[in-house]
């Protein structure tokens, strides 16, 4: 179901994407609404599924993970379903998507070091052919979803 988001809701979403811990009062000052009006709009967007949740961002290196990588997997015949069950249990995986193209899966992982990467790939290779790219730096990170120009 497509939901039309008005300009005020986009302003609220932008404020929340910058700082999800911002108070309704501070958002209200920013967008020109009272705190109860902001709260009502936020609640409605949560109920509609526009806002899915609020999350803490963790710096992987500060949490003890020195490597961040993108790994793609081209599943062997009959191995995709078992892989989809396994992937949900692996702590290293921070994002995983089923995709179109030559590969079936693309995942973002955090790892302690090269040895950890090798062990992780060893878990995956029974399910398919992997391709690994080490992330050197973030160019765009957690970019907010902005209102489309219509």
Q: Does domain 67-134 have CATH number 3.30.70.920?
A: yes
CA distances for 127 relative to 69, 76, 101, angstroms: 18, 6, 17
**How far is the C-alpha of 5 from the C-alpha of 28, rounded, in Å?**
17
Nearest to 108 by CA among 143, 146, 60: 60
User: Domain limits of the chain?
Assistant: 7-48, 67-134
pLDDT on residue 148: 57
The pLDDT tens digits of the residues spanning 36-89 come to 999 999 999 999 999 999 988 888 999 999 999 999 999 999 999 999 999 999
The pLDDT tens digits of the residues spanning 88-144 come to 999 999 999 999 999 999 999 999 999 999 999 999 999 999 999 999 998 988 888
What does the longest C-alpha to C-alpha distance in the chain come to?
A: 57
* CATH of segment(s) 7-48: 1.10.10.10
CA distances for 135 relative to 82, 100, 119, angstroms: 27, 22, 18
Give the predicted TM-score (pTM) of the model: 0.80
How many C-beta atoms surround the C-beta of residue 21 within 10 A?
8
CA distances for 134 relative to 77, 103, 105, 113, angstroms: 27, 17, 16, 11
Q: What angle do CA 142, 143, 146 make, to 5 degrees?
A: 140
Q: Which residue has the higher pLDDT, 11 or 145?
A: 11
Split at pLDDT 50, 70, 90, the class of 149 is very low
């Amino acid at each position: 179901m497509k939901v039309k988001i008005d300009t005020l809701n986009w302003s609220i979403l932008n404020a929340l994407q910058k700082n999800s811990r911002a108070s309704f009062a501070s958002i209200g000052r920013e967008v020109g609404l009272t705190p109860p009006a902001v709260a009502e709009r936020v609640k409605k967007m949560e109920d509609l599924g526009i806002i899915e949740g609020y999350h803490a961002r963790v710096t992987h290196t500060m949490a003890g993970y020195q490597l961040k990588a993108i790994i793609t997997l081209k599943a062997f015949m009959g191995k995709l379903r078992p892989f989809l069950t396994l992937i949900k249990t692996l702590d290293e995986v921070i994002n995983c998507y089923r995709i179109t193209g030559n590969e079936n899966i693309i995942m973002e992982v955090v790892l302690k070091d090269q040895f950890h990467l090798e062990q992780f790939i060893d878990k995956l290779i029974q399910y398919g052919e992997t391709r690994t790219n080490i992330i050197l730096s973030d160019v765009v990170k957690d970019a907010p979803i902005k209102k489309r120009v219509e």
